[in-house]
Amino acid sequence: MNFGFTEEQGFLREAVRKFVDERCPMAEVRRLMKTRDAHSPELWRALAEQGTLGLLIPDEYGGAGLSWVDFVVVLEETGRTLLPSPLVSTALATMALLEAGSPAQRSRWLPRFADGRAVGTLALLEASDRQGAAGIALAAVRDGEVDVLRGEKRFVADAGAADVFVVAYRVGTALRLALVPKEAPGLRVELVPTLDETRRSGTLVLDGVRVGPEDRLVAADPEATLELLLDCGCVAVTAEGLGAAEGALAVTVRYANDRVQFGSPIGRYQGVKHRLADAWVDTESIKSLLYYAAWTIDERRAELPRYASLAKAYLADAFTRIGVDCVQLHGAVGYTIEYDIQLYLKRSKWLRPMFGDGDYHRDRLAALTLG
Amino acid sequence: MDFNFSPEEQAFREEIRGFLDANLPDPVPDEDPAFLQAWNRKLREKRWVGFSWPREWGGGGGDLIRQFILKEEMSARRAPALGLDFMGLTWVGPAVIKHGTKEQKAEHLEAILDGRSHWCTGYSEPDVGSDLASLQCRAVRDGDEYVIHGQKIWTTSAHFASHIFLLVRTDPTVSKYKGITCLLVPMSTPGITVTPIENLSGKASFNQVFFDGARTPVANRLGAEGEGWKVVMGALANERSGISESTEMQQHLDDIRALAKRAVRNGRPALQDDRVRRRLSEMEIRVEAMRLTGLRHLTDQINGKPSGSETAINKLQRGILEFEMSELSLELLGSEALHQGEIQHDALGWHGTVIGGGSPNIQRNIIAERILGLPKD
Ligand SMILES: Cc1cc2nc3c(=O)[nH]c(=O)nc-3n(C[C@H](O)[C@H](O)[C@H](O)COP(=O)(O)OP(=O)(O)OC[C@H]3O[C@@H](n4cnc5c(N)ncnc54)[C@H](O)[C@@H]3O)c2cc1C
């Protein structure tokens, strides 16, 4: 039993922190926000050179073959400064391939994910009020061996930047997962403006897209693969969200030390400092749940769904509160476009529904523990 | 990061389970003093009381991970607490191990483990609560003795305690932190009187303790004169981490789930009510966060990073949990909440636990000032 990071993980954290501070300070985040996909191919290649993109990919495919605990370290740091990048999306596409990809599919995509030539993402959801497997209704029409898809996938993260989509659909009631490259005939991406402009998503319009056997993932139990992907998604966005919540807290602590009213830094007043202390209690508690959840992915433990829900439920509500408090503690400047704290507030709004909000996960936990 | 327990640790867990199967009666007669004494003797034979204390002083010399396993297994089976002298075990003993003389160790440590002593803690005074460092109870040196004048209040268990872990002011001329000294005083000392205070449930749990020229040998001083604040900071960290242990909150969670399983709301089982279910999940989230945060701090301790302000995390979490659990349990009782009863009284108890060892506001100040680096107020 050892609940601590290794020395290497400490170095990894430092390296990523240094990278994001140098390569993507807030001015660069704001510049990228104004681009079509909030995605910079140069930054992406630089991340690849750092080894960050191949982190979860085995060495035979050009990656570093590291663990989810390592990946969480990276995401905390990229979240801290709201780094715009399809890092999480591509990692989840990677997991789909590692779990259920054929050798040919892996050899085609994983090396390109690792060296930054390609971006992948999940295209699962359809209705705004449905999460998880219940959100997948798209029905394929069979044409011999080919599944023909007609419909829409919505809320697809990094839809504009992605080169390949992991699409979920049904044949009858059976769930299927397939890889659909962006050039597939009949496939179109409609970009939707997002409230958090550092995070993009769009709608995938499937107009007679043909999915052959070679495109389908070979999951023995597609429901289980889907659940794993969703739980990995929970853990990943919780890690990024935790980093962002800590970033918001740090920005606000700095402001509370600098801003003087009634002859004293506002951070002296308990109405200010106690809210920040509560935020810290929350971020520290979330870390405990998150690190354990990441470890259960690495160990493929049956506890993963429970810990993914524990961590995401806590983070979804706590970050909502932290985002609101941190803006309020800035006074009027918090309401300006100029100050960075509004970007954290918007990130907290993005984060809440992603892979299920607090109530979704509390209901899931209740079903697990109370029946 | 590796949450697997080693084969040796697993074997230890099995050993505890085997011991409990063979020795723990069902139901546990945890109000029967004779049983509790006998139980403590059995645990002492295994060296499970004072599990991590040095062997030379009667402890188990065990590591912190095994201690965690031991507490978890004992709590899961609702075995009585490990040891009979709660304060002695949780903070007085560790303070004596750290700061005590050989004679003090010989006098107190085995007695605590055997449950022959029973410690109480004399910090608070009528005018001194959260601002503990301004305490006024005076001790004046007279040859080989200190002569004590003053008053303590809210002293839990003083009405049956054998000793008091006492903070006094020995030098009023220096800064408030520097003039404080810690004394280990037998309650039988002439010049000490105890009067009980009823808590809101009508029970005598805490007291006023008056010192009217009580004399105690200088040999009963723990640490150097004027070093009492240092001693008490360590003791308070131990008190807070003891108070925050998640095992107890896990028991409360199990209890309230059992209550929810029995309860009916508006003619439907309470467990079919989404709001009840979500509130129970929220509690589960915090209890599990406390457990894992505890393990994180354990790892820090093993790596030589002493537990300090971080224990405030779990103390605050516990405060939130106790409040939420108490209110939900009363709501689940419906109109039965009007009546006297164990659940009804227990639901008021958190008002005390949340203040003892430092109120939530004080915990937040500690975090904001020591960890976040905000100005002192
Ligand atoms: C059940 C129970 C058992 C106890 N057992 C013992 C014992 O065995 N030995 C012992 O010595 N003491 C004991 N105490 C006393 C306990 O340590 C004190 O109650 C505690 O330190 C708070 O002091 P106080 O009650 O004087 O409250 P005060 O310090 O007067 O505080 C009153 C209120 O003001 C708030 N407050 C105070 N200062 C600040 C500040 N700077 N900023 C913001 N808010 C502030 C507090 O949070 C609190 O809500 C016990 C208390 C209880 C309830």
Q: What is the CATH number of the domain that holds A50?
A: 1.10.540.10
Question: A91 and A129 share a domain?
Answer: no
Question: A248 and A355 share a domain?
Answer: yes
pLDDT score of A201 more than 80 = yes
The answer as to whether A1 is a domain residue is no
Nearest CA distance, A77 vs chain B (angstrom) = 18
Question: A172 and A98 share a domain?
Answer: no
CA distances A365 to A125, A360, B184, B280, Å, are 21, 9, 49, 9
Share of chain B above pLDDT 70, in %: 99
Question: A247 and A293 share a domain?
Answer: yes
pLDDT score of B243 more than 80 = no
What confidence category does residue B307 fall into, taking pLDDT thresholds of 50, 70 and 90? low
Residues of A in contact with B3 (CB under 8 A): 1-3, 292, 295
Share of chain A above pLDDT 70, in %: 100
What is the rounded (10 degree) CA torsion for A224, A226, A227, A230?
Answer: 160
8 Å CB contact of A4 and B300: yes
The answer as to whether A192 is a domain residue is yes
Q: Which of A125, A124, A54, A61 is nearest to A90 (CA)?
A: A54
Question: A244 and A194 share a domain?
Answer: no
Total residues belonging to chain B: 377
Could you list the residue range(s) of the whole structural domain that residue A226 is in?
A: 222-370
Q: Which of A72, A66, A81 is nearest to A287 (CA)?
A: A72
Q: What is the mean pLDDT of residues B85-97?
A: 96
What are the structural domains, with CATH classification, of chain B? 7-84 (1.10.540.10), 119-226 (2.40.110.10), 240-371 (1.20.140.10)
pLDDT score of A36 more than 70 = yes
- Residue B58's CB is within 10 A of a number of other CB atoms, namely 18
Query: Tens digit of pLDDT for each residue in B115-164?
Result: 999 999 999 999 999 999 999 999 999 999 999 999 999 999 999 999 99
The string of DSSP codes covering B18-68 is: HHHHHH--SS--TT-HHHHHHHHHHHHHTT-TTTTS-GGGTS----HHHHH
The answer as to whether A272 is a domain residue is yes
8 Å CB contact of B292 and A369: no
| The pLDDT value given to residue B204 | 85
B125 is an active site residue: no
Atom of ligand 1 nearest to the CA of B124: 11
- Judge if the beta carbon of residue B67 lies within 6 A of ligand 1: no
Q: What is the mean pLDDT of residues A213-218?
A: 96
Question: A140 and A98 share a domain?
Answer: no
Query: Tens digit of pLDDT for each residue in A255-300?
Result: 999 999 999 999 999 999 999 999 999 999 999 999 999 999 999 9
The string of DSSP codes covering B132-149 is: GGG---EEEEETTEEEEE
Which CATH number belongs to the domain containing residue A273 in this structure?
1.20.140.10
pLDDT score of B201 more than 90 = no
Out of B239, B245, B310, B322, the active site residue is B239
pLDDT score of A94 more than 90 = yes
| The pLDDT value given to residue B299 | 87
The answer as to whether A286 is a domain residue is yes
What confidence category does residue B305 fall into, taking pLDDT thresholds of 50, 70 and 90? confident
Interatomic CA distance for residues A196 and A113, integer angstroms = 25
The string of DSSP codes covering A98-147 is: HHH--HHHHHHHHHHHHTTS--EEEE---STT--GGGG---BPEEETTEE
Q: Which of A151, A179, A211 is the last residue of a domain?
A: A211
Residues of A in contact with B300 (CB under 8 A): 4
DSSP element (H, E) containing A340: none
pLDDT score of A101 more than 70 = yes
What confidence category does residue A54 fall into, taking pLDDT thresholds of 50, 70 and 90? very high
Interatomic CA distance for residues A136 and A303, integer angstroms = 24
- Judge if the beta carbon of residue B208 lies within 6 A of ligand 1: no
3-state secondary structure of A338: coil
The string of DSSP codes covering B278-344 is: HHHHHHHHHHHHHHHHHHHHHHHHHTT----TTHHHHHHHHHHHHHHHHHHHHHHHGGGGGS--HHH
Q: Which of B132, B143, B148, B134 is nearest to B184 (CA)?
A: B148
8 Å CB contact of B1 and A264: no
| The pLDDT value given to residue B308 | 64
Q: Which residues pair with A205 in a beta bridge?
A: A152, A188
Q: What is the mean pLDDT of residues A329-341?
A: 97
Q: Which of A64, A90, A114 is the last residue of a domain?
A: A114
The answer as to whether A217 is a domain residue is no
Question: A99 and A163 share a domain?
Answer: no
Lowest mean pLDDT among A36-45, B48-57, B228-237: B228-237
Atom of ligand 1 nearest to the CA of B357: 17
The answer as to whether A130 is a domain residue is yes
Query: Tens digit of pLDDT for each residue in B253-286?
Result: 999 999 999 999 999 999 999 999 999 999 999 9
| The pLDDT value given to residue A369 | 94
What confidence category does residue A132 fall into, taking pLDDT thresholds of 50, 70 and 90? confident
Domain count, chain A: 3
Contacts of B39 (CB under 8 A, 6+ apart): B23, B79, B80
| The pLDDT value given to residue B252 | 95
User: Both tokens of residue A103?
Assistant: 């050798």
Q: Which of B98, B97, B121 is nearest to B109 (CA)?
A: B97
| The pLDDT value given to residue A129 | 86
Question: A256 and A301 share a domain?
Answer: yes
Strand bridging mode B119-122 / B163-169: parallel
User: Both tokens of residue A129?
Assistant: 């009020």
User: Both tokens of residue B245?
Assistant: 């242990």
**What's the one-letter identity of residue A356?**
G
Which CATH number belongs to the domain containing residue A194 in this structure?
2.40.110.10
| The pLDDT value given to residue A154 | 96
Whole-structure pTM value: 0.96
Interatomic CA distance for residues A131 and A58, integer angstroms = 30
Interatomic CA distance for residues B316 and B264, integer angstroms = 31
The answer as to whether A256 is a domain residue is yes
Q: What is the mean pLDDT of residues B59-78?
A: 93
Q: Which of B7, B8, B39 is nearest to B24 (CA)?
A: B39
Question: A359 and A272 share a domain?
Answer: yes
What confidence category does residue B89 fall into, taking pLDDT thresholds of 50, 70 and 90? very high
Contact status, residue B57 vs residue B109, Cβ threshold 8 Å: yes
Cα of B126 vs centre of ligand 1, distance in Å, is 10
Query: Tens digit of pLDDT for each residue in A221-237?
Result: 999 999 999 999 999 99
Residues of B in contact with A267 (CB under 8 A): 368, 374-375
Question: A231 and A308 share a domain?
Answer: yes
Given CB atoms, is A5 within the 8 Å cutoff of chain B?
yes
Interatomic CA distance for residues A55 and A53, integer angstroms = 6
The answer as to whether A237 is a domain residue is yes
Q: Which of A65, A90, A114 is the last residue of a domain?
A: A114
pLDDT score of A330 more than 80 = yes
Cα of A231 vs centre of ligand 1, distance in Å, is 43
Question: A310 and A347 share a domain?
Answer: yes
Average per-residue pLDDT for chain B: 94
Residues of A in contact with B6 (CB under 8 A): 1
Question: A55 and A16 share a domain?
Answer: yes
What confidence category does residue A310 fall into, taking pLDDT thresholds of 50, 70 and 90? very high
Interatomic CA distance for residues B143 and A300, integer angstroms = 69
User: Both tokens of residue A265?
Assistant: 């830094």
Residue A30 buriedness (CB in 10 A; 0-12 / 13-18 / 19+): middle
- Residue B355's CB is within 10 A of a number of other CB atoms, namely 15
